[in-house]
């Protein structure tokens, strides 16, 4: 009996180690993150401007992440590189246009090339997952958190152009992640600071907010990020990240999505001001989240890991949820994820050809405005 228990515990630890993406401070891999990668306690990392000093430094940092994870498991090395105002890697990277202009330009082939260009530059410094494209429909003109990050104001445009950029990112060697399910485009508040509400009836949600995600699921989007938003028409009690009504009933069962569901950052105030990291972890697992994104605090991601281990040891049902989530992450790694990087990254950046495509987007968008 004890041997079986030891084997079960070992497998649980391996499964839990598939479920965390974490951030850290500084220009080098933190000792805690390095140790966790080596011990297979986390699945990968996310970088922000606080981690970015130069092209060479980022390439070295991401290479250190690959080395810490070992040759037998490729880590997820993530970034928010949407274009426009959400572009962590800047000069000498080409400054990509806001996705609103890509939608306005009206050329799906060009949109796919822009996605491929974003990915090709990211892979030179070792990234392999981009938290893009946004599938939010920009329906509230006062919504500053989304604004020109959205491809447009109607769901068909958003779905088609997000799909084109998704395809391009994949062609360029980077895993795409559609966000923010079930839609952040009709909100007023910024979920980094507060808990927004999308107060629309179900019929409107299906026609507008959910339509781009429906199109992306048909296109086999491999990962979807949740939104920390309240949508009372479906769940008046829990924000979408913590809602089994949204993630299990709507996204899994009704929309037939079989890929990985990742939470938005669990340190954002929309949720962190209301629940502890332990409560968030348990609630998100029960809701249907596969991967837990914790962007800064080592204490919090370690608490998330410990909570998942405790839940897996507490009941067969929770152990099964963890195993299923880990299975989806492993399938994503097997089918989509690759090790990237270049020994001479700077020479591959800022190509005139890529800049020409960006200029063409602006020209077409201006002509159609």
Find the helix or strand (DSSP H, E) in which 176 lies: strand 175-176
DSSP secondary structure letters along 70-84:
-TTSPPEEEE-EEET
Q: Find out whether 271 and 304 touch, Cβ atoms under 8 Å.
A: no
Look at strands 86-87 and 81-83 and give their pairing.
antiparallel
User: Which of these is catalytic: 8, 25, 192, 199?
Assistant: 192
Which phi and psi (to 5°) does residue 224 adopt?
Answer: -130, 135
In angstroms, the CA 314 to CA 107 distance is 52
Q: How many CB atoms lie within 10 A of CB 217?
A: 19
Distances (CA, A) of 279 to 154, 232, 270, 292: 36, 21, 14, 13
Q: Is 154 a catalytic residue?
A: no
DSSP secondary structure letters along 32-58:
HHHHHHHTT---EEE--GGG-S-HHHH
Q: Is 80 a catalytic residue?
A: no
Of 162, 160, 164, residue with least CA distance to 149: 162
Write out the two tokens for 228. Answer: 């920390």
DSSP secondary structure letters along 181-242:
ET--TT-SS-TTTS--B----HHHIIIIISHHHHHHHHTT-SEEEE---BBTTTBSSS-GGG
User: Which of these is catalytic: 15, 264, 265, 290?
Assistant: 264
In sequence order, the 6+-apart residues with CB closer than 8 A to the CB of 47 are 23, 58, 61, 62, 77, 78, 79, 88, 127
Residue 317 pairs in a beta bridge with none
Which positions are annotated as active-site residues? 192, 264
């Amino acid at each position: 009996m004890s041997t079986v228990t030891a084997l079960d515990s070992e497998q649980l630890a391996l499964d839990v180690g598939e479920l965390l993406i974490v951030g850290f401070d500084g220009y080098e891999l933190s000792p805690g993150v390095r140790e966790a990668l080596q011990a297979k306690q986390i699945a990968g990392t996310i970088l922000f401007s606080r981690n970015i000093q130069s092209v060479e430094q980022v390439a070295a940092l991401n290479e250190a992440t690959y080395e810490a994870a070992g040759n037998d498991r490729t880590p997820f090395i993530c970034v928010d590189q949407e274009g426009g105002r959400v572009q962590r890697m800047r000069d000498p990277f080409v400054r990509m246009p806001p996705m609103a202009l890509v939608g306005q330009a009206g050329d799906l082939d060009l949109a796919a090339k822009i996605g491929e260009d974003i990915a090709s530059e990211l892979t030179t410094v070792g990234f392999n997952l981009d938290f893009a494209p946004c599938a939010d429909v920009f329906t509230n003109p006062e919504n500053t958190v989304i604004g020109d990050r959205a491809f447009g104001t109607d769901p068909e445009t958003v779905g088609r152009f997000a799909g084109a950029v998704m395809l391009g990112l994949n062609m360029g060697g980077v895993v795409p992640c559609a966000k923010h399910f079930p839609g952040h485009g009709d909100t007023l508040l910024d979920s980094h600071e507060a808990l927004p509400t999308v107060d629309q009836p179900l019929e409107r949600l299906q026609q507008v907010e959910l339509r781009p995600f429906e199109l992306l699921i048909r296109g086999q989007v491999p990962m979807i990020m949740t939104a920390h938003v309240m949508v009372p028409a479906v769940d008046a009690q829990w924000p979408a990240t913590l809602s089994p009504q949204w993630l299990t009933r709507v996204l899994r069962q009704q929309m037939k999505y079989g890929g990985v569901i990742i939470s938005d950052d669990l340190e954002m105030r929309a949720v962190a001001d209301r629940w502890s990291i332990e409560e968030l972890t348990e609630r998100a697992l029960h809701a249907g989240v596969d991967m837990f994104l914790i962007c800064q605090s080592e204490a919090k991601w370690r608490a998330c890991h410990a909570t998942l281990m405790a839940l897996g040891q507490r009941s067969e049902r929770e152990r099964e949820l963890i195993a299923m989530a880990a299975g989806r992450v492993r399938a994503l790694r097997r089918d989509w994820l690759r090790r990237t990087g270049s020994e001479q990254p700077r020479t591959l950046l800022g190509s005139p050809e890529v800049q020409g495509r960006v200029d063409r987007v602006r020209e077409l968008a201006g002509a159609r405005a």
